[in-house]
Amino acid sequence: MESVFYGVVFIVSLLCAAIYIYMWHKHFDVNFTMIFTLVPIACLGYFLSSTTGTLDGAITSQQIMYIGGSFLQLFIMFSIFNLCQICIPNWLRTLMFGVCAMVYAAVLTIGHKDYFYKSVSFQIVDGKPILVREYGFMHTIFYCLVCLFFLTGIITIVYSWIKKKEIPRYILILLVIPDIVCVLDYFIVLKALGSNIDLVSSGYVIAEFIYLLIAHRVNLYDVSNTVIDSYIQEQKVGYASFDFKLRYLGSNDIAKKLMPELADIAVDERFGDKSSHKRMRHYLDSFKEHPEKNQFIYTVHSLDNVACEERIYNVTVNFLYVGNRRRGYIVTFMDDTANRKYIQLIDTYNEKLQNDVEEKTRYIVEMHDNLIMSLAMMVESRDNSTGGHIKRTSEGVRILIDEITKEGVLALSPEFCKDVIKAAPMHDLGKIAVDDAVLRKPGRFTDEEYEKMKQHAAEGARVIHEILLHTDDESFKTVAENVAHYHHERWDGSGYPEGLKGEQIPIEARIMAIADVYDALVSKRVYKEAFDFEKADRIIMEGMGTQFDPGLRSAYEKARPRLEEYYGKGKE
């Protein structure tokens, strides 16, 4: 009975592992792979334990099954941390793994030392193999570790359910099941038909089923990777990468079709020594000499060979990053044929078509603006303390600009005012580079964390510069960079990141600063409740001449009723 049960469980565990291998994706959590590796090994140990007829065989089967027992709950806990977006230090991960390895080392001494089993003997009762054992102190440590990992996992899931709205509820619910099942099965033995069947093996298989469901769904929630993969597939983007010594690192199929020489070179082989490498070497050498001139045009015939159609590709060379370090070069190829034809239509056809083109151009600009807004909102969604901040500060800037224009004291052109309002949602884009542990901290920052957070101003200017690198609207580009870069500068020079003082601070950043601080004062944050309008107004007025431009005092006073009306509606 036992051997049949364990045999079926072992086969099912192998089938689950095979399904996981079939489903495997490069973005899968490595802890998933460890779980699907350990479970069949442990189930094999249970099967062997039911068929052995010797003491040595029984000890060996115990040592095999405890590979899962010693490590599986650890990797389940690690997978919970990763899925709940909770980072733990590498030294702590290594320490926990080391403790589990120490426990398993004690398992390997069974029959020789009394660390895990004080005594062990083998009996045949009614034709069935029975291993009689007396537990040692390391077995007690093993049970303590299982309970510790289980409780830590459950606490993490409950915390994420309450505090982390961006973690899918479906995943959190599924995570509870294998954690509970595996732990309960450590302490439950099913007695059926006169046999003692250890349910741990079946609990492992249930965990496999659950993790198959999680693996099937989890990549949909990884926005960064799904967007990149989808973009490459849909837009047919080719890419090839090289290290700083121009050794070939790899490329995708599209790049190999465009540049057949890439298919004939081995990884780590130096690129550029053959005559067929001349074109790609030209791109790389030009970028090395003038990194700002990284755009090229490459013309080829249609890749699908359906028709002799000429295709035009934009070739872009950039640095290849691993983390924050530059490690080489990446060359991307993007089909720009449609855009080139679009330009030809502008040059060729009549005024009516020109009007149609302009209408499409406006649509593209709107899409560009929506893309920027979406990026800003995506960044904001990472910050659990500033929900709706973009929308509110943008309206605050609009109200202030309106009052400044009515006053007429500052000679701001309509185009400039429009650019400031349009740039306002981008002021915190730099938070995309701030680590989640800092950005999502539910409380006040330490000095070290605050220094990391302060980097978002300069980083925002850099991100906007890259986004708008090739825009024709230079005035908007300048305004947007200034708003992101300098909105935390102070009139008295005590701000960051540059410590600019007075009129050294661009006027657009001075306007943004008032709207940004006002919103922070009257809005609830994780570290404070919202201030009433009177207290917020008092703080703003006290800051005129120290934190804020005193020349904007009158405009702010006139804007105050409209600001209070706007924020008042949001609280109703």
Minimum mean pLDDT range among 74-78, 108-112, 466-470: 466-470
**What is residue 409's DSSP assignment?**
S
Q: What is the CATH number for 81?
A: 1.20.1070
Segment 327-354 mean pLDDT:
73
- Structural domain includes residue 386: yes
Highest mean pLDDT among 112-121, 130-139, 214-223, 503-512: 503-512
**Res 193: pLDDT:** 37
Cα separation, 376 vs 396, whole angstroms: 17
Check whether residue 153 and residue 212 sit in a common domain: yes
Cis check for the bond before 497: say yes or no (omega within 30 of 0).
yes
Q: What is the CATH number for 544?
A: 1.10.3210.10
CA angle 200, 204, 208 (to 5 degrees): 165
Check whether residue 311 and residue 434 sit in a common domain: no
Highest mean pLDDT among 13-22, 287-296, 445-454: 13-22
Check whether residue 413 and residue 455 sit in a common domain: yes
Check whether residue 272 and residue 419 sit in a common domain: no
- Structural domain includes residue 353: no
- Structural domain includes residue 507: yes
- Structural domain includes residue 354: no
Check whether residue 109 and residue 148 sit in a common domain: yes
Helix (H, G, I), strand (E, B) or coil at 299: strand
* 364 or 173, higher pLDDT: 173
- Structural domain includes residue 264: yes
Residue type, 350: N
Q: What is the CATH number for 282?
A: 3.30.450.20
**Res 295: pLDDT:** 87
Which whole-number Å values give the CA distances from 65 to 108, 145, 195, 301, 549, in the listed order?
11, 17, 19, 60, 71
* 559 or 469, higher pLDDT: 559
For 402-411, what is each residue's pLDDT tens digit? 999 988 888 8
Q: What is the total count of domains within the chain?
A: 3
**Res 371: pLDDT:** 66
Domain end residue (candidates: 299, 321, 348) = 348
Exposed / middle / buried, residue 90 (Cβ in 10 Å: 0-12, 13-18, 19+): exposed
Cα separation, 279 vs 193, whole angstroms: 76
pLDDT greater than 90 at residue 133: no
Q: What dihedral do alpha carbons 481, 482, 487, 492 form, nearest 10°?
A: 150
Encoded tokens for 551: 């020349």
Q: Which segments of 426-493 are extended strands (E)?
A: none
**Res 225: pLDDT:** 46
For 172-204, what is each residue's pLDDT tens digit? 888 888 777 766 666 554 443 345 677 778 888
Check whether residue 284 and residue 306 sit in a common domain: yes
Minimum mean pLDDT range among 7-16, 94-103, 383-392: 383-392
147 near 71, Cβ under 8 Å?
no
Check whether residue 124 and residue 8 sit in a common domain: yes
Cα separation, 555 vs 449, whole angstroms: 35
pLDDT greater than 60 at residue 86: yes
Check whether residue 78 and residue 179 sit in a common domain: yes
pTM: 0.45
265 near 249, Cβ under 8 Å?
no
Domain end residue (candidates: 190, 221, 252) = 221
Check whether residue 73 and residue 215 sit in a common domain: yes
Domain end residue (candidates: 174, 195, 221) = 221
Give the residue ranges of DSSP H helices in 52-187.
55-83, 90-107, 137-163, 169-186
Check whether residue 56 and residue 195 sit in a common domain: yes
Strand partners of residue 337: none
251 near 240, Cβ under 8 Å?
yes
Strand 117-125 relative to strand 128-135, pairing: antiparallel
pLDDT greater than 80 at residue 357: no
**Res 226: pLDDT:** 46
Check whether residue 489 and residue 426 sit in a common domain: yes
- Structural domain includes residue 356: no
pLDDT greater than 70 at residue 356: no
For 211-251, what is each residue's pLDDT tens digit? 888 887 765 555 444 444 555 555 568 888 888 888 888 88
Provide the domain limits for residue 344. 227-348
- Structural domain includes residue 355: no
Q: Kindly report the backbone phi and psi dihedral angles of residue 279, in degrees, each rounded to the nearest multiple of 5, phi listed first.
A: -65, -50
For 446-498, what is each residue's pLDDT tens digit? 888 888 888 888 888 898 888 887 777 888 889 999 998 999 999 999 999 99
Segment 415-431 mean pLDDT:
87
- Structural domain includes residue 496: yes
Check whether residue 485 and residue 337 sit in a common domain: no
pLDDT greater than 60 at residue 572: no
